[in-house]
């Protein structure tokens, strides 16, 4: 959801103002959010190697 909002706002800002930097800032924000999501996914996977369910496996 965050990625979509950042993309929309940066594209809208660029279209309304014509400032190319807004689009670049949006791209950097998307990269940062993607990195954070990827790191979180790896952390979750590292802690749950034997079972992928959240119920009575433990």
**Is residue 37 domain-resident?**
yes
The CA distance from 4 to 12, in Å, is: 12
**Is residue 20 domain-resident?**
yes
Res 20: pLDDT: 84
Domain that holds residue 22: 2-47
**Is residue 34 domain-resident?**
yes
> In the chain, which ranges are continuous DSSP H helix?
2-17, 20-47
| Angle at 35 (CA atoms; ends 49, 51), nearest 5 degrees | 10
Mean pLDDT of 16-24: 89
The CA distance from 49 to 4, in Å, is: 30
**Is residue 56 domain-resident?**
no
**Is residue 41 domain-resident?**
yes
Res 51: pLDDT: 55
pTM beyond 0.95:
no
Rg (CA), the chain: 17
> Higher-confidence residue: 36 or 47?
36
Q: Reply yes or no on whether the pLDDT at 49 is more than 60.
A: no
Number of domains in the chain: 1
Mean pLDDT of 14-42: 91
**Is residue 57 domain-resident?**
no
């Amino acid at each position: 959801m965050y990625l979509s909002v950042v993309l929309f706002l940066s594209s809208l800002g660029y279209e309304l103002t014509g400032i190319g930097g807004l689009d670049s800032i949006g791209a950097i924000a998307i990269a940062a959010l993607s990195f954070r999501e990827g790191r979180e996914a790896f952390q979750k996977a590292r802690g749950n190697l034997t079972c992928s369910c959240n119920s009575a496996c433990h």
